[in-house]
Structure 1
Amino acid sequence: MTKDTTQWYASWFDTPYYHILYKDRNYKEAELFMNNLTAYLNLPEQGYILDLACGKGRHSIFLNSLGYNVVGADLSEQSIAYAKQFENESLKFKVHDMSCPFGQKFDAVFNLFTSFGYFEDDNDNLKTIKAIKENLKPHGFGVIDFMNVNYVLDNLTPESTKTVDDITFNLKRFYKDYHLYKTISFHDNGQDFKFEERVKALHLHDFESFFNEAGIYLLDVFGDYNLNKFNPKTSERLIMIFN
């Protein structure tokens, strides 16, 4: 029997298999990005940062180690339950829907590692942008770190396999109806599983439309974690700084 759970961000993120598949994510790269980003933004000492869609909290934990007061927020109860073991007086984790205001003001709100574009309705994506604005102090900065769709499509690997903890994950990637899809199928403990990731293929001009509608000013756009300028064809990332 195949367990098919395609309402993806509400189910896939809450399964232990998500964390098994992505357990080898590059922590050094994440730390480099956070060092570069906080230096560029020149955030106040012991400033307040909201890490929106924080997952299990790897960015939040490192930001806290740099001396910032950090709140990590994510829809996944499982991820937040895991992250809570790292809490201290200046690091907290909460279950939260990023399309709603958090109810607290921050010096910076970070939305990292392509944690945007999950919603089918563009109104919900716009609501997320507006919620980020609502969460910012008057001179605070919003940051969205998204994929560069052009680069992803030019370098898409349609099929691959990855074996982690004796589980072989079969991965298929494709573009359809303005979305990038990844299907993840595998067998474990006598059961077949199939999950799906689906992200809206948003370009810079799409974000600019959201920003205009939300009354947000785009300050700068970078194309990688070293904060090199964005190139629409060759940059791996689309990193937007706004307030």
Structure 2
Amino acid sequence: MQKEKDNWYASWFNTPYYHILYKDRNHREAALFMNALTNYLNLKKGDTILDLACGRGRHAKYLYKQGFNVTGIDLSEESIEYAKQYEKPGLHFEVHDMCLPYPQRFDAVFNLFTSFGYFENEIDNLRTVKAIKAELKSGAYGVIDFLNSELAVKNLIPSEKKKIGDIVFYIEKYVEDGYIIKNIRFTDDETDYHYVEKVRALTLQDFEFYFKEAGITLKNVFGNYRLNSFNQNTSERLILIFN
């Protein structure tokens, strides 16, 4: 069985280049999403939230500022090392594999920004859903914020380049064996780099299967960060609320 540290996400997410490429993510949009989500779930200040695959803690830090008690976990040691500089009572970060239940139960578990479907082994997707169930207090809700893969495949841009600072990223996208694959090539300091992002093109029906197998109830499905209803033909996101 392939070790986690050998997988594409373990190596790519641990590089500074991942954060350079995605440094312009919309923080205002993320804040509006967190506000809409916590209001919808009727979460109160002091409630506990697990930010699953938290990266450098962008969402976790915002949720903490809104008064929640937040734990962020991620497989990337580099990302967690960076996030730990912001730790304080009520905001904690730890390296942890999201396939395995974290040893604490929470008022909500959030898996945000398409941080799912990375695994080579299909069973690991189900293991992660079961782990989320184990991390929820009785009556609490889990949230998976995934891309709408059907629209993403339809609107796929085969190639593009992005210049960020002194680095030009050449990006190639295609679908293969049920995965949306992104090849990322660039040169920095006269060294050539090549990384791959690989996300399974999961649909609502795939998640419904996981939830059934895990004994989870799907409560609602939204299609964007304003929590409008999901439409598989037009929605950018697939946001699942379950318990």
Q: 1:142 aligned to 2:142? A: yes
Alignment check: 8 A CA contact 2:222 2:228 kept:
yes
Q: Distance in 2 between matches of 1:6 and 1:20?
A: 22
Task: Give 1:7 deviation, angstroms.
Answer: 3.1
Q: Which residue of 2 aligns with 1:76?
A: 76
Q: Which residue of 2 aligns with 1:101?
A: 101
Q: Distance in 2 between matches of 1:209 and 1:150?
A: 17
Q: Deviations over 1:97-154 (max 9, x none)?
A: 0000000000000000000001111111100000000000001100000000111012
Alignment check: 8 A CA contact 2:145 2:240 kept:
yes
Q: 1:203 aligned to 2:196? A: no
Task: Give 1:56 deviation, angstroms.
Answer: 0.5
Aligned pairs for 1:176-215 within 5 A = 176-215=176-215
Q: 1:42 aligned to 2:50? A: no
TM-score norm. by structure 2 comes to 0.97
Q: Distance in 2 between matches of 1:164 and 1:189?
A: 14
Alignment check: 8 A CA contact 1:183 1:196 kept:
yes
Q: Which residue of 2 aligns with 1:131?
A: 131
AA paired with 1:176?
E
Alignment check: 8 A CA contact 1:221 1:230 kept:
yes
Q: Distance in 2 between matches of 1:79 and 1:155?
A: 30
Q: Deviations over 1:25-76 (max 9, x none)?
A: 1100100100000000001331000000000000000000110000010000
Q: Deviations over 1:160-218 (max 9, x none)?
A: 00111210000001111100000000001111000000000100000000000000000
Q: Distance in 2 between matches of 1:190 and 1:232?
A: 44
Gaps of 5+ in 1: none
Gaps of 5+ in 2: none
Q: 1:158 aligned to 2:158? A: yes
Task: Give 1:6 deviation, angstroms.
Answer: 8.2
Q: Which residue of 2 aligns with 1:51?
A: 51
Q: Distance in 1 between matches of 2:84 and 2:7?
A: 25
Taking CA–CA contacts closer than 8 Å with sequence separation of 6 or more, which of the two structures ends up with the larger relative contact order?
Answer: 1
Question: Which runs of structure 1 show a deviation greater than 3 angstroms over 4 or more consecutive aligned residues?
Answer: none
Alignment check: 8 A CA contact 2:150 2:201 kept:
no
Task: Give 1:87 deviation, angstroms.
Answer: 0.8
Alignment check: 8 A CA contact 1:6 1:196 kept:
no
AA paired with 2:106?
F
Residue 19 of structure 1 aligns to a residue whose secondary structure is helix
Residue 14 of structure 1 aligns to a residue whose secondary structure is coil
Q: Which residue of 2 aligns with 1:113?
A: 113
AA paired with 2:209?
S
Q: Which residue of 2 aligns with 1:18?
A: 18
Q: Distance in 2 between matches of 1:172 and 1:211?
A: 33
Q: 1:92 aligned to 2:92? A: yes
